[in-house]
Amino acid sequence: MSGEVNIKRLAQELNISIATVSKALNDSHEISLKTKKRVWDLAKALNYTPNPAASNLRSNKTKTIAVIVPFIANNFFALAIKGIEEIARKFSHHVLIYQTHEDIEMEMSFTNSLLNGRVDGILTSVSSSEYNGTYYKNLVKKIPLVFFDRVYKDLDAYNVTTDDYEISYEATTHLIECGCSKIAYLYGLENLPAGNARFLGYKDAMQKNGLTVSDELVINYCEDESQNLTQITQLIDRHGPDALFSSIEEFVIPTYTACRALKLKIPDEIKIISFSNQATAQLLDPSLTTITQPAFEIGREAATCLFKMLNKKGFGDDQDIVLKSTLVKRGSTGC
Amino acid sequence: MSGEVNIKRLAQELNISIATVSKALNDSHEISLKTKKRVWDLAKALNYTPNPAASNLRSNKTKTIAVIVPFIANNFFALAIKGIEEIARKFSHHVLIYQTHEDIEMEMSFTNSLLNGRVDGILTSVSSSEYNGTYYKNLVKKIPLVFFDRVYKDLDAYNVTTDDYEISYEATTHLIECGCSKIAYLYGLENLPAGNARFLGYKDAMQKNGLTVSDELVINYCEDESQNLTQITQLIDRHGPDALFSSIEEFVIPTYTACRALKLKIPDEIKIISFSNQATAQLLDPSLTTITQPAFEIGREAATCLFKMLNKKGFGDDQDIVLKSTLVKRGSTGC
DNA sequence: CTGTTAGCGCGTTCAT
DNA sequence: ATGAACGCGCTAACAG
């Protein structure tokens, strides 16, 4: 019944002008309370909701933000998105999702398609496949943008990250204190600041403790998952490390699979530590010592940051928000 | 530079009318190829993209779909969303995400906010907290809607589900063939067809094999996770089942925690089987026998189904798409 | 306090 | 083959 219900319709039924209805709906102070009430009541009765396209067109605001991530089906990003969604709802905004599959071409294609006013702002965790600083340098001038977790440094944009260097340093030191001296490093996110910082934290901790960092003990993540298993198995076979430091969660399954296949006792014969969420860790026995990033909070912080930009409540001059990760010590490091 | 670029601007620069530009951009057959080329070239040169709000307003199409799920940070839904996003991109559509936290009020509030033309269609996996058939009965008349995984039956809407009954029957039979006779059931999604079907599959398999289904061996999922652990521990303590059938992944961690605490050897003293994704199962040792739903494919199928509706390529009269789950047999059932 | 008017950018008549 | 004119639903400037 009743076709579409818009302000015109409300105006007709109430015998007042369209403009008055519009103002009343927006609770303008230049409309009498009596008129407002009449409008509100009818609006509610007819289940009126403003047409978003029309008001976007007019106001240049979409009440929509976009989230661009490498993957959705990933513990970290799924949690981050959850956080973003909750903040967005608090600000009555809608959330568009895009996944790049680590493909920078797709990433650019998505962001470009968002520059025509489809969204008010963008939250992005960039692809690790390649580094295109100049592209983003231009982009941040065109649309409010916040980087989270996977960021581009030196860009005059807001970054929400975690203390990758510090926590890696701490974790490595922990392994050393547990008696390890030959610690292999499973290197992920090599093209990104986060990956580099993690590796640096490991290296510095090693050197600080008089241990040598050898290339032979470092494996780089390979998208072909079976390759990772092979690499890890070979590394253990050939060099017999007494610990494995996995810098990304993707290494956890191949690491455990390799240790099981080689019948290595964890933590007696080899200790393991990994960046990983808690749920994954809880499933392992003996439980894995983890570095857990506050993914949910990162999402919330990043979104909050974006909404501050949108509301032009320009905050301090600090463009970097750094959240703390947690080193959750468990059985697998044996202390 | 150059302010906004819209068809007006293109028209001015080319000294032709706005209408011609509009038609050229839409590749209308009433425009000469020569003119089209000029328009396309300039459009590309100026990086023109149509203003979505304006074209939505005019065409009543948004090229956007909404996905409503209970949780985002959940293996199943994250994978389903991944599938949806991929299909949406294939059809050049954007994807809005909403999470209900199993709250039916929020669910209704979201869907209501989408009825004013913000999206072309909705994909939803409904909340398990309560059943509101009449609400959805009306809703499906107002907007193209596809239910996936968590559906409302008898609604004259398209449903994409899995073979819950059959796979539960199969899994229970497998346990029985492994020698189990006292199989406890961890009941999830009690308010939904999927939950009921899973339970029924278990019950039927039990009865078919002459085993009794006792209330004492059934636990209902409790949102307070610690409660689940307590319940499971007590159940094992008091009734000593020889197998646990977990009907939702959320039961896996408390189940394993309980068995570890009670020092029960899996699978020698107790066998475990659970609905769960493969990644989770791989982390467990001895590995968990799982019922794995094709989450990614469910997402893809549901989205494909929605786009068929949108393109009015009305398909067969079959409103239900049922995908097959997989029983991945592993060590934990001992055969 | 209320109404009139003029667009926002685009697509679609209907003329020419 | 091209253009003029109108309107989608809403907001904002200005008048009264």
pLDDT digits (tens, 9 = 90+) for B232-253: 999 999 999 999 999 999 999 8
Cβ distance A116 to B50 less than 8 Å, yes or no, reads: yes
Residues A278-283, mean pLDDT to the nearest whole number: 82
**pLDDT at site B105:** 93
Which secondary structure element, helix H or strand E, spans residue A12, and what is its range?
Answer: helix A7-14
Structure tokens at B326: 């997989």
Distance A109 CA to D4 C1' (A): 36
Nearest to B291 by CA among B323, B258, B259, B257: B323
Which residue did the predictor score with more confidence, A132 or B315? Answer: A132
Cβ distance A117 to B52 less than 8 Å, yes or no, reads: yes
Among candidates B53, B73, B118 on the partner chain, residue whose Cβ is nearest the Cβ of A57: B53
**pLDDT at site B210:** 95
Structure tokens at B218: 């059934």
Residue ranges per domain, chain B? 7-50, 62-162+295-323, 164-293
Query: What digits encode the pLDDT tens for the residues A28-68?
Result: 998 999 999 999 999 999 999 999 999 999 999 999 999 99
Q: Is the CB of A32 under 7 A from strand C?
A: yes
pLDDT at residue A1 above 50?
Answer: no
Q: Which nucleotide, over all strands, has the C1' atom closest to the CA of B6? A: C9
> Among residues 245-264 of chain A, which lie with CB inside 8 Å of chain B?
252-253, 256-257, 260
DSSP secondary structure code for residue A265 in this structure:
P
Beta bridge partners of B245: B185, B273
**pLDDT at site A335:** 67
**pLDDT at site A130:** 81
Two domains, one topology: B7-50 and B164-293: no
Beta bridge partners of B122: B66, B145
**pLDDT at site A326:** 95
> Among residues 93-122 of chain A, which lie with CB inside 8 Å of chain B?
94-99, 112-113, 115-118
Distance B151 CA to D10 C1' (A): 37
DSSP secondary structure code for residue B315 in this structure:
-
Among candidates B78, B113, B256 on the partner chain, residue whose Cβ is nearest the Cβ of A49: B113
Question: Architecture of domain A62-162+295-323 in CATH?
Answer: 3-Layer(aba) Sandwich (3.40)
pLDDT at residue A315 above 90?
Answer: no
Among candidates A57, A75, A284 on the partner chain, residue whose Cβ is nearest the Cβ of B54: A57
Distance B102 CA to C10 C1' (A): 40
**pLDDT at site B1:** 41
Q: What is the pLDDT along chain B (335 residues), one digit of tens a residue?
A: 456 899 999 999 999 999 999 999 999 998 999 999 999 999 999 999 999 999 999 999 999 999 999 999 999 999 999 999 999 999 999 999 999 999 999 999 999 999 999 999 999 999 988 888 899 999 999 999 999 999 988 888 999 999 999 999 999 999 999 999 999 999 999 989 999 999 999 999 999 999 999 999 999 999 888 899 999 999 999 999 999 999 999 999 899 889 989 999 888 899 999 999 888 887 876 667 899 999 999 999 999 999 999 987 655 556 789 999 999 987 777 66
Please count the residue pairs, one from chain A and one from chain B, whose beta carbons lie less than 8 angstroms apart. 116
pLDDT at residue A168 above 90?
Answer: yes
Which secondary structure element, helix H or strand E, spans residue B123, and what is its range?
Answer: strand B121-124
Report the predicted TM-score, pTM, of the whole model to 2 decimal places. Answer: 0.93
Residue with tokens 């029985």: B176
Nearest to B286 by CA among B335, B232, B239, B219: B335
Nearest to A92 by CA among A53, A124, A120: A120
Portion of chain A with pLDDT greater than 70, in percent: 96
Structure tokens at B232: 């499971």
- The number of beta carbons lying within 10 Å of the beta carbon of residue B5 is 18
* Topology of the domain comprising B164-293: Rossmann fold (3.40.50)
SS3 B328: strand
Residues A250-272, mean pLDDT to the nearest whole number: 91
- The number of beta carbons lying within 10 Å of the beta carbon of residue A298 is 24
pLDDT at residue A107 above 90?
Answer: yes
SS3 A238: helix
Q: Which residues in chain B have their CB less than 8 angstroms from residue A81's CB?
A: 72-73, 97
Question: Architecture of domain A7-50 in CATH?
Answer: Orthogonal Bundle (1.10)
pLDDT at residue A91 above 50?
Answer: yes
Q: What are phi and psi of A110, to 5 degrees?
A: -65, -50
Those residues whose C-beta lies under 8 Å from the C-beta of residue A41, and which sit 6 or more positions away, are: none
Positive/negative CA dihedral, A135, A137, A141, A143: positive
Q: Is the CB of A18 under 7 A from strand C?
A: yes
